[in-house]
Structure 1
Amino acid sequence: ILDGIGETDMVARYVLNGDVKDWSRNNLHGKLNGDGRFVDDKQFGKVLSLTGNNTFVTLPGEVLTGLESISVAGWIYLHSTQSGQRFFDFGKNEKSHFSASPAGSTQRPGYQAILTINGNNLPAIAPSVEPNKWVHLAVVIDISSRTTFIYLNGKQAGQATGIPNELTQLFGNKNAKSTLYIGRSLAAADPCLNALLHDLRIYRVPLSEKQVANIYNNALHNNTSVSVNTTAKTEDDLQQFATTEPQLYNAYLVSVANTAVSTEVGTLPRLPEYVNGVYKNAINGPKVRVLWPNPNNNNEVLKPGQYKITGRVPGTALQPQVTVTVNEVAKAIAPKQTLQA
């Protein structure tokens, strides 16, 4: 558990203190582009410096796999108030994406998070971020309430309602190719980010205001809480990691269980995102994220039978399998009408 938030709720964490590796167990490492570099900072030690001169970070599209909601949080030290800079920009293209602009967009001023769907913008707006000081930003898309929340230094600063009821409307389905930028816009004409960055996190759940405040306050007081389980239920034997070490639990992973699912003729199966893992020393560890290949067609489900799909666990050589059973479509039974005397 990190800052009171369960490990399986975290998709990726980029501390940015010397590299762009993912410190979560999912190993979704980023790539630094351009002349970005890591510099010393009085508050956070070593941080990432983006110069605004075509420097940015690219994240793998797998970050968005299987998300029902999403929260993005991180620290930023703006060097420029130029509008159009992006803290992050995730999506399919300029007409369908999710972005955050700390210094405003070309259309309107203010710190804002914008969902753009088929070219239509749904902005959540707050006052612009002050330059030349560290501030903590968080953007939460809560699908259950159909609301986007934006936070500034641990407090809610704005919101937008009436957002789509599924992220697939924004990012597409699993077969869709998404681009994920940190410090760059999907629109080539917009400026790149001129700022320092620290501890960028992406969650698969909508963080509450209390959780966002905990992240902010713990970082300020150098009190980042890192434990594997404080509830003493299922993960007590996993090693506790210091804040200076990546939480790479996959280093303890020995094997991953194969699994089975079923579907009906003509319907592609729903594959499990997490499966049980076997850890060293009989550790009772968390479930393991598995990435399955995207189907090229539906040939395997056109008739009853069985087939297997081989997946992979990021950061390991493990290749778990799922056995898919394709059943005949159940025939609907017409209701019988009974007349009462």
Structure 2
Amino acid sequence: MTRTPLLPLELGDARIWIKAECLQQGGSFKLRGAMNRLLLLSEAERARGVVAFSSGNHAQGVAIAAKRLGIAATIVMPADAPAVKRDATLAAGARIVPYDRATESREEIGARIAREQGSALVPSFDDVDVIEGQGSAGIEIAEQLGASPDTVLVPCGGGGLSAGIALALPDAQIMTVEPCGWDDMARSIAAGEPVPVIEPAPPTRCDALQTKLVSPLTLDALRDRGARGIAVTEGEIETAMAFAMRQLRIVAEPGGSVALAAVLAGKAGPISDRTVVVVSGGNVDPALYAEILAANQAAPATR
């Protein structure tokens, strides 16, 4: 596991901090939760293998953790997942079972395969051990900052990372950030119960955040910590990706950039030198990345 850096970023008169989980092994924070979950399997469970479902980042985390522990891994992955994520998952030794995200349920497919193989199912966020593993990023943040942050902005799909950080940093204000139209966690926090994405969901390049219904497990952890949600547009996300490359020299995928997008767009409220922004992943298709950088050549005005 890599202890990812906490990078300083000057924005106007304020200095904030970027937790660069895009530099984690596998290109995202997902290895944290996957490794914690797999380390807790018994020898008998390891021998029967594991099954996971993911658009790519959790897939890579599980595949890498399984390879290191000598465990066979099967990943249910959407057929339209970015090639860079699919190829990396295969390179780590996992078997991929494709599915159509528009017409099929990855949860149902994963559960069926797990039953047939007698394998352990490793959810991407709806699991206590996975959430605790993701929370190690929050522990690192406090250690690196030398104190508990005032605010942490976290990209949110199912909420495993944001819930884990909320549990690790009980004194911090947690802000979940999602793409517009996919902000089911924000609406679920406001409603006090899981609220699904409104269909038809709008197109988004944030493949890592296309969770249509959050888990009561992650929702309860965030509500108990008084978290609030923010939504950002596709344009704001692309601006943040380009900004991350030019100002921080890091590659951030669309889903990994949403928290930075919220700050740059002025949606996060007051910021301070104890504000932390998580860039959660950097697994982006090279052609798409080049297209976004070319279309966003001007750096956004800093606050």
Give me the TM-score of the superposition, normalised by structure 1: 0.28
Q: Which has the higher strand share?
A: 1
User: Which structure exhibits the higher relative contact order, with contacts defined as CA atoms closer than 8 Å and separated by 6 or more residues?
Assistant: 2
